[in-house]
């Protein structure tokens, strides 16, 4: 069983809808949680970075972490066709020095 | 502009040949990383380096080698011992132990 599970999609939504993405994990030592966006043939771009449990909002993006359930989410409001990409969750323990565990990524398609 | 530069973007090699992928950063980050990405799988850590002249194996180091002679450079050699070298290779860096990774735009290696 993988340490981080993420539904690969594709997830298709109409423009303006809310995109809801999530990952589950098994390692209770994870403390840092990240969401990256990756366009085709490009490197991942950091969207959200959170520590421990709670919510974090940045513009149209909201990240939620529920450590008791080992479950993290990313919500994208007012989705745009430019949000069409693969979204990767990643996480690590303390003192990780960049040794992240990644989900497989969810492909999102926002249709005009 | 600060960033991570990977070159070349596409690389083709014959089976049995070693090939070196370049990664340069001007972010003054101490730590650098190599990840491999395969379709439908999360990123997997190959090697990482927290300081010049020192590096450690990641989860899938077999068939790869690295060097870290300068802070800004972390080249990856894919040797002929790597059984399945065709993949998308991503270089990343970070400035501290609990900071998120920043990625380059990758090199797509095809070995035939």
pLDDT in tens, B38-87: 988 889 999 999 999 999 999 999 999 999 999 999 999 999 999 999 99
The distance of B67 to chain A (nearest Cα, Å) reads: 18
Interchain proximity A88–B102, CB inside 8 Å: no
The distance of B81 to chain A (nearest Cα, Å) reads: 24
Q: What is the per-residue pLDDT across A19-59, written as a single tens digit (0 to 9) for each?
A: 999 999 999 999 999 999 999 999 999 999 998 888 999 99
Structure-block tokens of residue B22? 């370049």
Residue B17 CB coordination number (10 Å): 11
B1: pLDDT strictly greater than 70: no
Tell whether A5 lies on the interface with B, counting CB pairs under 8 A. Answer: no
Q: What is the per-residue pLDDT across A55-103, written as a single tens digit (0 to 9) for each?
A: 999 999 999 999 999 999 999 999 999 999 999 999 998 877 778 999 9
What integer best gives the mean pLDDT of chain A? 94
Indicate the residue of B97, B100, B104 with minimum beta-carbon distance to A43. Answer: B104
How far apart are alpha carbons B100 and B18 in whole angstroms? 31
In this predicted structure, what is the pLDDT of residue B47?
97
How far apart are alpha carbons A96 and B30 in whole angstroms? 14
CA geometry: angle A47, B101, A51, nearest 5 deg: 65
Tell whether A56 lies on the interface with B, counting CB pairs under 8 A. Answer: no
pLDDT above 70 coverage of chain B, percent: 99
Residues 12-31 (A) with a CB less than 8 A from some CB of B: none
End-to-end CA distance of chain B: 36
């Amino acid at each position: 069983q993988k340490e981080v599970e993420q539904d690969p999609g594709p997830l298709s939504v109409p423009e303006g809808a809310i995109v809801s993405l999530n990952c589950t994990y098994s390692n209770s030592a994870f403390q840092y949680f990240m969401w990256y966006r990756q366009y085709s043939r490009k490197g991942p771009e950091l969207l959200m970075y959170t520590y421990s449990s709670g919510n974090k909002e940045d513009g149209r993006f909201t990240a939620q972490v529920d450590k008791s359930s080992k479950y993290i989410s990313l919500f994208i409001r007012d989705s745009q066709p430019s949000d069409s990409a693969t979204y990767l969750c990643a996480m690590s323990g303390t003192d990780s020095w960049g040794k992240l565990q990644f989900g497989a990524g969810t492909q999102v398609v926002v249709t005009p | 502009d600060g960033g991570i530069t990977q070159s070349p973007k596409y690389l083709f090699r014959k089976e049995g040949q070693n090939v070196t992928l370049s990664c340069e950063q001007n972010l003054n980050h101490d730590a650098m990383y190599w990840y491999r990405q395969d379709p439908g799988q999360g990123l997997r850590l190959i090697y990482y380096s927290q300081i010049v002249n020192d590096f450690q194996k990641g989860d899938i180091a077999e068939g790869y080698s690295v060097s870290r002679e300068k802070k800004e450079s972390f080249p990856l050699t894919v040797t002929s011992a790597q059984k399945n070298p065709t993949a998308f290779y991503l270089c990343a860096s970070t400035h501290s132990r609990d900071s998120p990774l920043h990625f380059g735009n990758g090199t797509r290696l095809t070995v035939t």
